[in-house]
Amino acid sequence: MQKFFFQCIILLMNKKLYVISGSSGVGKGTVLKGFLQRNPQFMLSISCTTRKPRPGEVDSVNYFFLSPEEFKDCIEKDKFLEWAEFAGNFYGTKKKYINQCLEEGKDIILEIDTKGALQVKKRMPEAVLIFICPPSYEALENRLRGRHTEDEQTIQKRLNEAKIELERAENFDYKIVNDDLEKAIIELENVIKKERDNA
Ligand code: 5GP
């Protein structure tokens, strides 16, 4: 029923849901930021997480920061369109939030991990899955270490996840290699334009 409801809204409004995933440190946030600056009609979904805010991150802007208890309560009440555990923390997209955005006629982009992306595809086959790849595993490791936001243990967890994410990306609709920021942004624009033209 829920699935049907979401599909109806999307069909009625001729909107597509774009799901972007990529290994931690691949620069998907930067690619997306560039895309959104040039295409302000798109809206980036705000996820819920149990991860602690990084310096500069603001509640309800970067994430809805929840306690593990609050997150568990949302799972039990079936409030998430998808959710996943990633590197020791929980992340999820609220159905209500996506619903509101679609009702407001917005094109939405979800920036979530590959487990979550595949759950979305199962519930909404018309969702477009796009994976941002690193030029190489070594490049990814260098970027992850270079941003100095995680301790060694977290970096190791994220590197392990990155290997698994690359495997899951085989089931995505598109892959974009981020070895040149400008090229990656243009490629993302082309993919989304193509999908909108086909809608
Ligand atoms: P970070 O902690 O670096 O902000 O995010 C870690 C990972 O969680 C990233 O791969 C990011 O895409 C993913 N993520 C963020 N929000 C969500 C969400 O709502 N659901 C899922 N499944 N993953 C998410």
Taking only the tens place, the pLDDT of each residue in 14-65 is 567 999 999 877 889 999 999 999 999 899 999 999 999 999 999 999 999 9
User: Which ligand 1 atom is at minimum distance from the Cα of 87?
Assistant: 6
Residue nearest to atom 16 of ligand 1 (CA): 112
* Residues 46, 65: Cα–Cα separation, whole Å: 10
Specify if 30 maps to a domain. Answer: yes
Domain housing 40: 16-197
Please tell me the residue having the least CA distance from ligand 1 atom 22. 116
Cβ of 47 below 6 Å from ligand 1: yes
Question: Does residue 80 fall inside a structural domain?
Answer: yes
3 belongs to a structural domain? no
Output 141 or 13, whichever has higher pLDDT: 141
Domain count, the chain: 1
pTM confidence score: 0.87
Q: Which atom of ligand 1 is nearest to 23's Cα?
A: 10
Residue nearest ligand 1's atom 17 by CA: 112
CATH number, domain containing residue 69: 3.40.50.300
In a domain, 11, yes or no: no
Does residue 119 lie within any of the structural domains? yes
Separation in Å, CA 58 to CA 26, 52, 96, 150, 180: 22, 11, 21, 18, 29
Specify if 54 maps to a domain: yes
Mean pLDDT across 135-159: 86
Q: What is the number of other CB atoms lying within 10 angstroms of the CB of residue 140?
A: 24
